[in-house]
């Protein structure tokens, strides 16, 4: 008898299914699972699924351990019980950072936000989205082109500034980024801007010299305005999974990152990256990029994130 689907077709079909659908398919394979508890093969499959979705080792093992214990107690009677267990375990990961998800705004004068991240994560686009976010709340936004190294970086931000109707502080390509930062803070103060968002050169977290330039920028900003920068936001590409956690660790050690922006969170198969990063570093996720338009930047909502995973 011929097969309707090849092994490759079946693998592609499984990839189309949500994480929750795949998790449920394994955990509730048959009625016997609910009576006897999950067997070792099913647990291993669930563990592999969570790790492949970048939940990280710690959260994955806790979910599996809890699932095993509750199954043995006879507390899993169907999909609703399984879903609630999963939701409860996810909430535990985010609880330590739950009180830090709001933005820290300056008591007086402009709020200064330093945006950092590696090349290719969508940092410049995220800056534009963040500017629109503040504009929609009646704030006067000033942008600063602190990426003076990448060819076309200043022009790219210039186009966004023109589209947004924002003023842009810039210097010539190759200028000292710290000098740009100093001028930008001075301009924000004198022009009574509400928000100053500073772009920075994208760099690999393994490039020590370039990371030190970021440290210098932050120091110069603080000298020009007490308490600034008020936020150091690290933009991460959600599709990179565990590599994003490695990036976050180095940036945080050097700069004291205050929050994360997860770009490309919509539709990613790496749904667990937010869980892994939060569990490892305790950093709050402040925004999520959920699409291509300027309006597609949302304040991170834990319940919506969990609902997305469990859909």
Domain 103-309: CATH class, spelled out: alpha beta
Could you read off the pLDDT of 213-232 as tens digits, one per residue?
999 999 999 999 999 999 99
**Percentage of residues in the chain having pLDDT higher than 90:** 45
**What are the φ/ψ torsions at residue 2 (nearest 5 degrees)?**
-75, 155
- Asked whether residue 227 is marked as a ligand-binding residue, the answer is no
Beta strands in 153-296 (DSSP E): 167-169, 195-198, 231-237, 259-263, 285-289
Could you read off the pLDDT of 224-273 as tens digits, one per residue?
999 999 999 999 988 777 778 888 888 999 999 999 999 887 755 556 77
- Asked whether residue 123 is marked as a ligand-binding residue, the answer is yes
Integer Cα distance of 165 and 168 in angstroms: 9
**The token pair that represents 98 in the structure block:** 């739950």
Identify the pLDDT of residue 35.
Answer: 45
* Residue with the larger pLDDT of the pair 120 and 177: 177
Find the mean pLDDT for residues 194-220. 86
Cross-sheet strand order for the sheet of 141-144: 167-169, 141-144, 195-198, 111-116, 231-237, 259-263, 285-289, 297-299
**The token pair that represents 30 in the structure block:** 């048959």
- Asked whether residue 119 is marked as a ligand-binding residue, the answer is yes
- Asked whether residue 124 is marked as a ligand-binding residue, the answer is yes
- Asked whether residue 117 is marked as a ligand-binding residue, the answer is yes
The fold for domain 7-98 equals 1.20.120
Question: Under a CB-based contact definition with an 8 Å cutoff, are residues 178 and 216 in contact?
Answer: yes
- Asked whether residue 202 is marked as a ligand-binding residue, the answer is yes
- Asked whether residue 66 is marked as a ligand-binding residue, the answer is no
> What pTM was estimated for this model as a whole?
0.86
Domain ranges of the chain: 7-98, 103-309
- Asked whether residue 139 is marked as a ligand-binding residue, the answer is no
- Asked whether residue 201 is marked as a ligand-binding residue, the answer is yes
- Asked whether residue 200 is marked as a ligand-binding residue, the answer is yes
* Residue with the larger pLDDT of the pair 159 and 91: 159
Could you read off the pLDDT of 2-12 as tens digits, one per residue?
333 334 433 44
Long-range contacts of 66-74 (CB under 8 A, 24+ apart): 67/27, 67/38, 67/43, 68/37, 68/38, 68/43, 71/33, 71/34, 71/37, 71/38, 72/37
Question: Under a CB-based contact definition with an 8 Å cutoff, are residues 150 and 115 in contact?
Answer: no
Residue 269 DSSP class: S
């Amino acid at each position: 008898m011929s097969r309707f689907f090849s092994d490759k077709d079946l693998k592609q079909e499984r990839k189309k299914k949500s994480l929750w659908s795949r998790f449920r398919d394994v955990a509730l394979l048959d009625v016997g699972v609910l009576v006897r508890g999950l067997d070792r093969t099913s647990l291993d499959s669930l563990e592999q699924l969570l790790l492949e979705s970048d939940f990280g080792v710690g959260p994955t093992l806790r979910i599996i351990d809890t699932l095993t214990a509750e199954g043995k107690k006879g507390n899993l009677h169907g999909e609703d019980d399984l879903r609630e267990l999963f939701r409860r375990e996810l909430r535990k990961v985010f609880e330590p950072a739950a009180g830090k998800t709001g933005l820290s705004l300056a008591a007086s004068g402009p709020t200064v936000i330093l945006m950092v991240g590696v090349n290719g994560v969508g940092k410049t686009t995220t800056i534009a989205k963040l500017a629109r976010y503040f504009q929609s709340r009646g704030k006067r936004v000033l942008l600063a082109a602190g990426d003076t190294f990448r060819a076309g970086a200043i022009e790219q931000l210039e186009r966004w500034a023109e589209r947004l109707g924002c003023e842009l502080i810039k210097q010539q390509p190759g200028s000292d980024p710290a000098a740009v930062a100093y001028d930008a803070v001075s301009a924000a103060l004198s022009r009574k801007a509400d928000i100053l968002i500073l772009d920075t050169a994208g760099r690999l977290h393994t490039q020590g010299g370039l990371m030190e330039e970021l440290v210098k920028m932050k120091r110069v900003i603080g000298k020009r305005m007490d308490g600034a920068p008020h936020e150091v936001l690290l933009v991460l590409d959600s599709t990179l999974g565990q590599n994003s956690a490695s990036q976050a660790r180095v940036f945080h050690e050097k700069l004291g990152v205050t929050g994360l922006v997860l770009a490309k969170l919509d539709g990613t198969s790496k749904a667990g990256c937010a869980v892994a990063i939060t569990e490892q570093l305790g950093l709050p996720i402040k925004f999520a990029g959920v699409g291509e338009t300027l309006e597609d930047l949302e304040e991170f909502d834990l319940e919506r994130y969990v609902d997305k995973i469990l859909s």
